[in-house]
Chain A
């Protein structure tokens, strides 16, 4: 009987386990992780913070579901992998044999080097433990400061506000998430935050986090200015947790390097999820996504290959849907422009590919709280950002991911007064192009 060991209890690990069980009904599946709460919806933490769901709703699987899948779970920290002996060692000294191993330990929040970063009241939003700690701290805090960028920073800002904490959001430059959003999109998000009572400070950096008796009392922001606060939320990016793999001689770069079958340089060791650096056919480079869908697909693909199949992982266009200051927002393909000084690395819900845009034209459409930005290439649509109304998603997703030739409508899309929604839907209807359910 084959033993499959999966290190990591996030969506990549769970997806792999599900697929392995569908292919191998008798093999032993062992899911190991140091996450005390096991598998839960990491993106759901944002809505737990805003009080839209209770904690128990974060768990999509019950114990019974795991029993039905015949998956064993072990809460342990894996401290070493012995690839030549096909063994892993846990923090308690247990050595466990594997036939096939998946590393899906994800990424951890990057920590900025700011004096005072270790004070009580400095928080990140990496996991459920962090979210619970934030909720506890917001019970006493009246003021908070958030530094960083991207989705996680916004989740902290919105979480604090939803819990009645006056929030200051510090941006190093002149706008929010400048590496992915354009000026108007950033402005829409910022205006909505301001409308919710958030105070945004542009061109502002934290010099030092101030404390009293080990607890946060404020931040100094230069020129002698101080913002008093009891909470400091930090979201400057994430770093794949590669140390375990590096120590085992597994090839890494920014993440674990894998071939098209998600195999590492050891044939029976695979990697999936935020820790994995995969080949991107659109750019010809290896990249890291910190996105739910690729993590799920990579887990499924690795799982299939661990059971003996040879299924390549073909990276699609980067795609994420999220909520930015209350607006449902979909980001597909190449949309960004480069660096963001609020971040030191990729953030959760982010893809390195979004920043690599070739020459493209931007076509914009406005309709109250809805906005659509299309990145037009020579004959294709390279990317899109949809804020608010999501109707066109089901049409644009196949157009962008399949690199459909849009030359018949390209000129129309560039006309300022034509309804681009109707043009796109008409184009897709004629070609039977629509996302399948």
Chain B
């Protein structure tokens, strides 16, 4: 992706790049594994979704592959303020 590509994403994606999290809704997740399969850095996104935890792994690129591929709309980009404090542990430590 060239430098121009950075500015061609969806607004929600640009926002997430700045604020930094993919947020799952565990109630919508059926553990199909499409998110994990499509993660370019092999994060087990499904595990986060099952636990209802934001993808708070510091390696997450917020590339949006998991968000786009999930067939059930489990994942979305969210602002830091959307995330409850108990889920911030891993990233803050």
Chain A residues close to B by CB (< 8 Å): 11, 41-44, 46-47, 52-54, 57-60, 292-293, 319, 321-323, 328, 330, 390, 393-394, 397, 435-437
Interchain CA distance A33-B69 in the complex, whole Å = 32
Cβ-defined contact, A437 with B50, below 8 A = no
Cβ-defined contact, B36 with A393, below 8 A = no
Number of A-B contacts (CB under 8 A): 73
Cβ-defined contact, B73 with A60, below 8 A = no
Q: A60-B47, A437-B83 are in contact. Are A41 and B27 (CB under 8 A)?
A: no
Number of interface residues of B (CB under 8 A): 27
Determine if B18 is an interface residue (Cβ-Cβ < 8 Å).
no
- B25, B30, B32, B73: which contacts A328 (Cβ < 8 A)? B73
- A41, A52, A58, A321: which contacts B28 (Cβ < 8 A)? A321
11 new A-B contacts at CB < 8 Å, known A58-B32, A393-B28, A437-B23: A41-B31, A42-B30, A43-B31, A44-B30, A47-B32, A293-B27, A319-B27, A321-B72, A328-B72, A435-B25, A437-B83
Q: A293-B27, A321-B28, A437-B25 are in contact. Are A44 and B33 (CB under 8 A)?
A: yes
Cβ-defined contact, B33 with A53, below 8 A = yes
Which residues of chain B are near A323, meaning CB under 8 Å? Answer: 71-72
Which residues of chain A are near B15, meaning CB under 8 Å? Answer: none
B65 CB, min distance to chain A CBs, angstroms: 13
A54 CB, min distance to chain B CBs, angstroms: 7
Which residues of chain A are near B87, meaning CB under 8 Å? Answer: 437
Determine if B54 is an interface residue (Cβ-Cβ < 8 Å).
yes
Interface residues of B in 3-22 (CB under 8 A from A): none
Determine if B84 is an interface residue (Cβ-Cβ < 8 Å).
yes
Which residues of chain A are near B47, meaning CB under 8 Å? Answer: 60
- B23, B37, B54: which contacts A53 (Cβ < 8 A)? B37
Q: Which residue from chain A places its CB closest to the CB of B84 in the assembled complex?
A: A437
Q: Which residue from chain A places its CB closest to the CB of B44 in the assembled complex?
A: A60
Which residues of chain A are near B54, meaning CB under 8 Å? Answer: 437
Interchain CA distance A47-B32 in the complex, whole Å = 8
- A57, A319, A328, A436: which contacts B37 (Cβ < 8 A)? A57
Cβ-defined contact, B52 with A43, below 8 A = no
Which of A11, A58, A321, A394: most chain B CB closer than 10 A?
A321
Determine if B78 is an interface residue (Cβ-Cβ < 8 Å).
yes
- B25, B32, B74, B82: which contacts A41 (Cβ < 8 A)? B32
Interface residues of B in 49-91 (CB under 8 A from A): 50, 52, 54, 69, 71-74, 78, 82-84, 87
Interchain CA distance A52-B34 in the complex, whole Å = 7
Q: List 12 A-B contacts (CB under 8 A).
A: A41-B31, A43-B31, A44-B31, A44-B33, A52-B34, A52-B69, A53-B34, A57-B32, A57-B33, A58-B32, A330-B28, A437-B24
Interchain CA distance A330-B27 in the complex, whole Å = 12
Which residues of chain B are near A41, meaning CB under 8 Å? Answer: 30-33
Interchain CA distance A321-B73 in the complex, whole Å = 8
Interchain CA distance A54-B37 in the complex, whole Å = 8
Which residues of chain A are near B78, meaning CB under 8 Å? Answer: 437
Q: Which residue from chain B places its CB closest to the CB of A45 in the assembled complex?
A: B32
- B23, B71, B84: which contacts A47 (Cβ < 8 A)? B71
Interchain CA distance A60-B29 in the complex, whole Å = 12
Interchain CA distance A44-B69 in the complex, whole Å = 13
Interchain CA distance A319-B34 in the complex, whole Å = 21
- A43, A59, A390: which contacts B73 (Cβ < 8 A)? A390
Which residues of chain B are near A319, meaning CB under 8 Å? Answer: 27
- The 4 nearest A-B residue pairs measured at CB: A44-B32, A57-B33, A43-B30, A390-B73
Interchain CA distance A52-B33 in the complex, whole Å = 10
- A54, A292, A394, A435: which contacts B30 (Cβ < 8 A)? A292
Cβ-defined contact, A57 with B73, below 8 A = no
